[in-house]
A and B are shown apart, each in its own frame.
Chain A
Amino acid sequence: MTETITSSAPVAAIRIENLGKSYGDFEALKNVNLIVAEGERIVICGPSGSGKSTLIRSINRLEEHQIGRILVDGTELTNDLKGIEKIRSEVGMVFQHFNLFPHLTILENCTLAPIWVRKLPRAEAEEIAMRFLHKVRIPEQANKYPGQLSGGQQQRVAIARALCMKPRIMLFDEPTSALDPEMIKEVLDTMIELADEGMTMLCVTHEMGFAQAVADRVVFMDRGQIVEQNEPMAFFSSPQNERTKLFLSQILGH
């Protein structure tokens, strides 16, 4: 993968080259290479502390990397602030703990960034927000505050909030890990719907059913490195690496 990107070649949605990051002596990421094509759905899994969250958070620079390069839609992530805000507005992110803004209504949560970042008129932003709240099936909650909603509903609002920016890529950082079991399905259903529409998605999750249903590729990480990646059928039926086998036996065995 040493060829330079020319304008004629299709630009990868995300291109990560030789990525490295450490906190003191601890290497959080080590020589990570990953290319995500437009429209591709990737599930990242691995034991806790394996660097999967750090990796996904590097893609919109919530974490700064120290070694290597990250290109999003052909633009390299650097310290240039204006550039990073532009990229962040194109990359939606959904967090484990929802991180909705508790002092704003559901509708205001969804219209804030379109109004202040995209400079849309309020009416237009609200129309878009209502469309996406319909899509995640909670338009009737628009005027409530996040604290009045269940976890599953909050996470669906978080997805709608990200979608209101019309992102080209969606990042999911363990979106169902903080949810009660009965609420996981409603969130996964929303994500599957999104995947079916062709959204480029990177998803850190332990929901292997979801991985089997929608992923084009499953990436397994351990100790800051990508250990193995494959399309889901092969990944689950015939894992190659010993660590992958161990991880799968633990996660599927329970």
Chain B
Amino acid sequence: MTDTASNTLALPIRPFLRPLLQRLAPFVGTPLNVALSLLLLWLILRVGWLLLDWAVVNAALLPAKPETCAATTGACWSFVIAKSGQILFGIYPPAERWRAGLVCVLILTTLVASARPSSWRPWLGFAWVAMMALVLWLMGGGFGLSRVPTSSWGGLPVTLILTVFAIGLGFPMAILLALGRRSGLPVVRTLSVLVIETIRGLPLLSLLFVASILLPLLLPEALLPDKFVRALLALTIFAAAYLAEVIRGGLQAIPSGQSEAAKALGLGYWNTQRLIILPQAIRIVIPALTNTIIVMIKNTSLVLVVGLFDLISSGKAALSDPDWPAPSTETFLFIGLIYFALAFSFARFADFLERSGMEKRG
């Protein structure tokens, strides 16, 4: 202690420099390290400058005419700005875009409002059902709003609706499948295994094709659900099969003493699962669940092969405007940013959930 104190008196600047030098030490310790550090620094600056040059310095940053873009050597953000409505909402009737925008706001707000464990009360379930009904009304129309068929839906709302509905409906299904696979009743167990293994064994693309092409051949028209609903069903059941196996992994990890103690207290099967087993099992598998859910967010983009217009398809459609040069890099960067924001915020949320669980164990 006295040592540090005397140093501080002698050289007041040192306390600031010391940590900095300590951090730099690994980079400049030996001549080789110095050389490597300099090389990498040069590379970072060079690439960084190229990017900056393209994205900002030489770019068309402000709303502008197509000609401005043609004249620049850098990025054409003007295009993304001019076409943002079309990229975000696809072929949704431009006059009604406010409805599609409201749907996005509604879904994202509900997601954020559900994030805190303290708000996990029965009313939240009702809020979700209400939100889903409201979303369908706003998007599809009826009851005073002009009708917009699902074939005209597009862009971000489609991506959000597919993700939220597929996971929101797939998760409870997954829990039932996971419990079913461990059930003592042979019929229930066999059925669960059959569903899970069949769905997991098929590529999502083939499931989407079955839903959009094969199903219309098999079912009479009157019974056939809308194409959007069929794709959503395919995504839901696909998500359910994968989530079921993740959840089953968590169920396996709970010692049998837990269900024995619950039984001994007189709790029935469903109360035991709901109050004792699942809360522990799901907390264990949060990292794996996060993984599956993020994959599902991105999987929704596959619906473009069956003719639905999600974010990526609407981006592509916007690029086909002959009046503009087609700045696909900028457009896909913009779309990529939206996907990243969705996936990354979910990953952070999962991380927060895991931590809030850790504190409790002490």
Chain A residues with CB under 8 Å of chain B are 60, 62, 81, 85-86, 88-93, 95, 97, 99-103, 112-113, 116-117, 144-145, 147-148, 161-162, 165
Contact A99 B260 (CB under 8 A): yes
- Out of B258, B268, B279, B361, which one reaches A85, CB within 8 Å? B268
Q: Which single member of A81, A93, A165 contacts B268 (CB below 8 Å)?
A: A81
> Which of B258, B266, B283 is the one whose CB lies under 8 Å from A101?
B258
Chain B contacts for A88, CB-based, 8 A: 263-266
- How large, as a class, is the contact surface on chain B? 20 to 34
* B117-145 residues at the A interface, CB under 8 angstroms: none
CA distance A112 to B277 in the complex (A): 13
Within the assembled complex, what's the spacing in Å between the Cα atoms of A92 and B264? 7
**Contact between B283 and A103, CB atoms less than 8 A apart:** yes
Q: Are B280 and A144 in contact (CB under 8 A)?
A: no
A147-B257 contact, Cβ under 8 Å, with A112-B275, A113-B265, A116-B275: no
Q: How far is the CB of B315 from chain A (nearest CB, A)?
A: 44
Establish whether residues B362 and A145, one from each chain, have CB atoms under 8 Å apart when the complex forms.
Answer: yes
Q: Please report which residues of chain B, range 240-284, place their CB below 8 angstroms from some CB of chain A when the two chains form the complex.
A: 255, 257-258, 260-268, 271, 275-276, 279-280, 283
Name the one of A62, A89, A102, A148 contacting B280, with C-beta atoms under 8 angstroms.
Answer: A102
Residues of A within 8 A of B255 (CB): 99
B360 within 8 A of A: yes
Taking the closest CB of chain B, its distance from the CB of A105, in whole angstroms, is 8
In angstroms, Cα B360 to Cα A165, docked, is: 26
Give the distance to chain B from A249, nearest Cβ to Cβ, in Å. Answer: 33
A contact face: mostly helix, strand, loop, or mixed: mixed
Set of chain A residues within 8 Å of B266, measured between Cβ atoms: 85-86, 88-90, 113, 117, 165
Given contacts A116-B271, A116-B275, contact A145 B263 (CB under 8 A): no
What 3 A-B pairs have minimum CB-CB distances, sorted nearest first? A89-B266, A148-B362, A99-B261
User: Which chain B residue lies CB-closest to A81?
Assistant: B268
Are B265 and A100 neighbours in the complex by a CB distance under 8 Å? no
Chain B contact residues: helix, strand, loop or mixed: helix
Q: Tell me the bound Cα distance from A89 to B361 in angstroms.
A: 28
Alpha-carbon separation in the docked complex, A164 to B267 (Å): 14
- Distance of A27 Cα from B64 Cα, bound (Å): 87
Contact B267 A62 (CB under 8 A): no
CA A194 – CA B255 in complex, angstroms?
Answer: 29
Contact A62 B263 (CB under 8 A): yes
Known pairs A99-B258, A112-B275, A116-B271; A165 contacts B265 (CB<8 A): yes
Q: How far is the CA of A102 from the CA of B361 in the complex (A)?
A: 7
Closest CB-CB distance, A54 to chain B, in whole Å? Answer: 13
Indicate which residue in B260, B267, B357 contacts A113 across the interface (CB closer than 8 Å): B267
Best-surrounded residue of B261, B264, B279, B357 (most CB of chain A within 10 A): B264
Assembled-state Cα–Cα distance A84/B361 (Å): 33
CB distance from B181 to the nearest CB of A (A): 21
> A148–B266 Cα gap in the complex (Å)?
26
Q: If the complex has contacts A113-B266, A116-B267, are A95 and B261 also in contact, measured as CB distance less than 8 A?
A: yes
Bound Cα distance A221, B322 (Å): 91
Shortest B133–chain A CB gap in Å is 31
Chain B: minimal CB distance from A62 (Å): 6
Known: A102-B280, A103-B279, A116-B275. A95 touches B268 (CB 8 A): no
| Contact present for B271 and A60 (CB under 8 Å) | no
A103 partner residues in chain B, CB cutoff 8 A = 279-280, 283, 357, 360
Nearest CB on A from B284, distance (A):
10
Residue from B264, B276, B362 within 8 A of A93 (CB atoms): B264
Whether A147 touches B265, Cβ cut-off 8 Å, given contacts A99-B260, A103-B279, A116-B271, is no
From known contacts A112-B275, A117-B267, infer whether A95 and B362 are also in contact, taking CB-CB under 8 Å.
no
Q: Quick one: given A88-B265, A88-B266, are A95 and B257 in contact (CB under 8 Å)?
A: yes
Question: Do residues A60 and B267 form an inter-chain contact, with CB atoms below 8 A?
Answer: no
* Chain B residues closer than 8 Å to A86, beta-carbon distance: 266
In-complex Cβ contact of B257 among A90, A99, A112, A161 (8 A)? A99
CA distance A99 to B280 in the complex (A): 13
Q: Which residues of B contact A93 (CB under 8 A)?
A: 261, 264
